[in-house]
Structure 1
Amino acid sequence: IYSAWEILKLQYKVNSVHLMINGDSVVLANSIFIEQVFVNLFNNALEACRLITPYLQVDIERCDQITKVRLSDNGPGWNLSQAEYLMQPFMTTKKVGLGLGLSISQTIMQHCHGNLYIASTLDKHAQIILIFQNSELAYDK
C-alpha cells in the first residue's frame, strides 16, 4: 500500500492529499501485482477527487481466513448498477482514460485468489473492497 502511494505522490506532486490507513495484515499475494492494484485504485481516487482536496481511507480487517481491505475516497462515487460495467475492459466514466484500471485490478486479484468489489454510493463516495487470502493458508495446503 505504502509503495503504491509513494509512486502516485511523485506522479501527482500532491501534498494536500489525506491518506489514512487503519489496520495491518499479511496476505497471500504477489507484492508487485498488489502494488499495481493499489496504484490503479489510488489513481482512480485521485482523478475522481481532482476538484476537491482528496481524502482516501484504507481500512484493513483481518478475519479467520481472509483479509478485507476497504478503500474509500470522498469523490462522487458510482451507481452500483454501473459496477459490472466498470469492471469490463475499456469501459470508463471518465472523459479521459482507457477504462482498464478496474478490469486489470480485478484480474490481478483473481489471479492472487482474491476478489475486488465495488461498494459505492452515488454522490457520496467511492468504495472498493478487496478480499485477500491470509498468508497462513499457504502453509495449510
Structure 2
Amino acid sequence: MAVMTAVAFLVVLGYGFARTGLDGLSNPSQGAARERSVDGVVLAKDRVSEPQGSSSTRIEVRFTTDAGTSYRFWEAGDANIGDTIPVHYEPGRPETASTHSVTSNSIMFGILAVSGLALVLLMPLLVLRLGLESLRHVGQAIRKRSAVG
C-alpha cells in the first residue's frame, strides 16, 4: 500500500511539474514583450552550503525601475561585487526581478514540463510492471506447490 501511495504522490507531483512547465511555455513571446531590462549592480556575494557538502554562490543585486524606485534581491549567480549586469522584470511587478532572461526561463520551464510528463507517464508503467512481476511470482509459487503436492 505504501508503494501505491508513493506512486500516486509522484504522479500528482509530475502533473504539477508538467502543468507549471507548460503554463510557463504557453506564450514566452508575450512575456518577452512585457519584460523590462535595466542595468543592476552586484552589491554582495555569498556562498551557500547545500546538501551533501556542496555549495553555490549567490549575489545581491540592486536595480532601479523605470519609475525610479530602487530594489534589491538575492539570486544564484557568479558575478563580482561592483559588476553591472542586466536585470529583467515585469513592469509594475519588481518582485519578479531576475538576472535570467525569458529565454533562460523558457529552458527551465521546458525541463520542468518534460520531467513532469515523464513522472506522469512512467509511474503507472512502473506499477504495471511491478504488478505483472508479482503475478509471475504468484504463478511460479502455485506451480511449485502443485508439483510438490
Superposition TM-score, scaled by structure 2 size:
0.25
Structure with the largest fraction of strand: 2
Which structure has more helix as a fraction of its residues?
A: 2
Higher relative contact order (CA 8 A, sep 6+): 2
TM-score by length of 1: 0.26
